[in-house]
């Protein structure tokens, strides 16, 4: 059971977060709640020690506090803040610096790409694609959930929870 959550649920939820942000520029609250609930199931089904669970809760709480500071300053969206915190819950402190670094680099590249994309007019055939016109709009933000999800999937196999759940 733990392996299913580890190998299927987390990656699927991350892919859904990226796709949702790309297509709608929103990350549903239900997605962040699903990540939290799935972590709870994995922690219990995987028999994680209480000390590891508490450290993961601490990582999630720290990222939530910092992300909402960034949200209050207008630097990131609320969905991005909640997604980053729920992801930190899964990753814990061990891979948190790597996650944040990869997300920052990926988010920077994504932002530059979108800013360059917005300098060119959309081709006629794409004008009916709502999601693309939304991203192309210079008044819109950047779907940073894509970078957050990508970073999570990159560092996830090095996380403590991955090793603990797959240990014999």
Per-residue pLDDT tens listing for the chain (168 residues): 667 777 889 999 999 999 999 999 999 999 999 999 999 998 888 888 899 999 999 999 999 999 999 999 999 999 999 999 999 999 999 999 999 999 999 999 999 999 999 999 999 999 999 999 999 999 999 999 999 999 999 999 999 887 766 655
> Residue 57 has what pLDDT?
97
> Residue 167 has what pLDDT?
59
> Residue 1 has what pLDDT?
66
> Residue 5 has what pLDDT?
72
Give the chain's domain count.
Answer: 1
Q: Which domain holds residue 23?
A: 2-166
> Residue 63 has what pLDDT?
98
């939820």: which residue's tokens? Answer: 13
Stated pTM of the model:
0.91
């Amino acid at each position: 059971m733990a392996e299913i959550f580890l190998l299927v649920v987390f990656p699927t939820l991350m892919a859904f977060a990226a796709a949702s942000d790309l297509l709608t520029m929103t990350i549903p609250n239900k997605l962040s709640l699903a990540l939290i609930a799935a972590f709870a199931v994995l922690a219990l089904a995987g028999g994680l020690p209480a000390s590891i669970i508490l450290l993961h809760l601490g990582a999630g709480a720290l990222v939530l506090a910092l992300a909402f500071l960034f949200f209050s300053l207008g630097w990131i969206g609320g969905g991005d803040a909640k997604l980053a915190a729920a992801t930190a819950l899964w990753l814990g402190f061990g891979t948190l610096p790597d996650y944040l670094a990869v997300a920052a680099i990926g988010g920077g590249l994504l932002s530059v790409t979108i800013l360059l994309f917005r300098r060119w007019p959309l081709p006629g055939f794409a004008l009916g694609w709502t999601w693309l016109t939304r991203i192309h709009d210079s008044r819109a933000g950047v779907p940073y959930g894509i970078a957050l999800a990508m970073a999570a999937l990159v560092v996830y196999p090095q996380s403590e929870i991955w090793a603990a759940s797959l240990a014999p």
